[in-house]
């Protein structure tokens, strides 16, 4: 069952986001390829105007979920709705005209320049803006008349983002767009995404296995594991719900109480170590995560601050 959480960051979300119907909704969605179950009862909602980070390790089912959202593949069961209507039949083609997409690997006609690609894409998107496309090419420092086949991976990603945004999409889907980029190109790409969507009405669905990619971008995240959403909420709430403690093993070290701590129930995410050091990672089950002072911990145990990447890994490992 998915864990949901909210935090004070969501209190500042514009009221229209909270009251409007979801822009994207997956309800009890399953997808099977032969005997392989890829998605299993997936439920998620993406609100208008938000940046939704879709996290999961490789093979979790993220790309399959995106294919269903875009109407490329139908669900085995359940309902996929985009822009308020189920994605099936002729509805799929019309909806895709309002979706911008940047994939992990960019595929362009290698002999086409950005200028020619723009003319080609113009006929596919009724809301295409030549003015915005030219502006984005200039902003992203892309040569207008150089063949795209000679572009680096980072340049191809910027070109794909330019084309996706020039279609004036209501929904921008990013599927592992920074995979394979060097750290400089990755940071540059993320900065461009943030700058371009901050002052627009575009809703962003950002799929990645790298929590650093969406740490500074996402309003909310969903964590997918083995085709099921195991967490949905804000990053702040995820951080507040997880705690870690460690102890150097000595004759005076108390055993950690693996049922309740000072009356607060929790789920054990990780617990173990060796004869020298023990570590416990917990996920609080109470609606209001407690603030346990060091003096209230068992003898020898101290709190340890976790990075969001540590928490993400712990959430995934809890299921295995």
pLDDT (tens digit, 9 = 90+) per residue, 247-277? Answer: 999 999 999 988 888 888 888 888 888 989 9
Within a 10 A sphere around the Cβ of 303, how many other Cβ atoms?
A: 13
pLDDT at position 185: 84
Of 223, 167, 166, 174, whose CA–CA distance to 194 is shortest? 174
What confidence tier does 12 reach under pLDDT thresholds 50, 70, 90? very low
How far is residue 259's CA from residue 187's CA, in Å, rounded to a whole number?
42
Q: What pLDDT is stored for residue 303 in this prediction? A: 92
Percent of the chain with pLDDT over 70: 93
pLDDT value of position 319:
56
CA-CA distance, 117 to 145, in Å (whole number)?
A: 10
| Residues 292-304, mean pLDDT to the nearest whole number | 90
Confidence of residue 5 (pLDDT cuts 50, 70, 90): low
119 contact partners, CB below 8 Å, separation of at least 6: none
**Residue that wins the pLDDT comparison between 99 and 314:** 99
Ramachandran class of 82: left when φ > 0, alpha when ψ lies in -120 to 50, beta otherwise: beta
- Residues whose CB falls within 8 Å of the CB of residue 60, separated by 6 or more in sequence, listed in order: 209, 224, 225, 226, 227
Predicted pLDDT at 68: 95
User: How high is the mean pLDDT of the chain?
Assistant: 87
pLDDT for 202 beyond 60 = yes
Give the pLDDT band (50/70/90) at residue 7. very low
**pLDDT of amino acid 11:** 42
**Domain ranges (residues) in the chain:** 3-237, 241-317
162 backbone dihedrals φ, ψ, rounded to 5° = -60, -45
Residue 214 pLDDT grade (very low, low, confident, very high; cuts 50, 70, 90) = confident
In this prediction, residue 312 carries a pLDDT of 82
Q: Using 50, 70 and 90 to split pLDDT, how confident is the model at 3?
A: low
- Over its C-alpha atoms, the chain yields an Rg (Å, rounded) of 22
pLDDT of residue 63: 93
Matching residue, tokens 């599927």: 175
The pLDDT-based confidence of 317 (bands split at 50, 70, 90) is: low
> How many angstroms separate the CA atoms of 241 and 235, rounded?
10
Quickly count: other Cβ atoms within 10 Å of residue 286's Cβ. Answer: 11
- Residue 318, pLDDT > 70, answer no
What is the reported pLDDT for 8?
Answer: 40
Average pLDDT, integer, range 277-291? 85
Residues 227-233 have a mean pLDDT of 89
Rounded to 10 deg, the angle between the 130-139 and 153-166 helix axes is 150
Q: How do residues 31-70 score in pLDDT, each as one tens digit?
A: 999 999 999 999 999 999 999 999 998 888 999 999 999 9
| pLDDT tops 50 at residue 9 | no
- Homologous superfamily in CATH for domain 3-237: P-loop containing nucleotide triphosphate hydrolases (3.40.50.300)
pLDDT at 19 over 70: no
| CA contacts within 13 A on the Cβ side of 104 | 12
User: In this model, does residue 30 exceed pLDDT 70?
Assistant: yes
């Amino acid at each position: 069952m998915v864990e949901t959480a909210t935090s004070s960051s969501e209190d500042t979300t514009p009221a229209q986001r909270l009251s409007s119907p979801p822009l994207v909704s997956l309800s009890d969605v399953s997808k099977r390829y032969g005997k392989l179950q890829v998605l299993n009862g997936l439920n998620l909602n993406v609100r208008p105007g938000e940046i939704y980070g879709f996290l999961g390790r490789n093979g979790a089912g993220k790309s399959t979920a995106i294919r269903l959202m875009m109407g490329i593949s139908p669900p085995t069961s359940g309902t996929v709705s985009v822009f308020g209507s189920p994605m099936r039949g002729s509805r799929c083609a019309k909806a895709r005209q309002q979706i911008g997409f940047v994939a992990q690997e960019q595929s362009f006609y290698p002999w086409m320049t950005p200028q020619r690609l723009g003319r080609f894409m113009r006929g596919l998107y009724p809301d295409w803006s030549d003015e915005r496309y030219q502006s984005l090419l200039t902003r992203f420092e892309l040569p207008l008349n150089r063949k795209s086949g000679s572009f680096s991976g980072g340049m191809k990603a910027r070109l794909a983002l330019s084309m996706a945004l020039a279609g004036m999409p209501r929904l921008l889907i990013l599927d592992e767009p920074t995979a394979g980029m060097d750290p400089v190109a990755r940071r540059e790409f993320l900065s461009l995404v943030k700058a371009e969507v901050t002052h627009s009405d575009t809703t962003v669905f950002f799929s990645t296995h790298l929590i650093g990619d969406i740490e500074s971008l996402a309003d909310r995240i969903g964590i997918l594991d083995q085709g099921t959403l195991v967490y949905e909420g804000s990053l702040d709430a995820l951080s507040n719900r997880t705690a870690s403690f460690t102890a150097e093993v000595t004759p005076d070290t108390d055993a950690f109480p693996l049922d309740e701590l000072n009356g607060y129930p929790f789920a054990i995410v990780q617990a173990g170590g060796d004869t020298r050091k023990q570590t416990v990672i917990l996920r609080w089950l109470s609606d209001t995560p407690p603030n346990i002072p060091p003096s209230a911990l068992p003898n020898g145990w101290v709190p340890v601050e976790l990075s969001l990447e540590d928490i993400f890994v712990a959430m995934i490992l809890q299921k295995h």
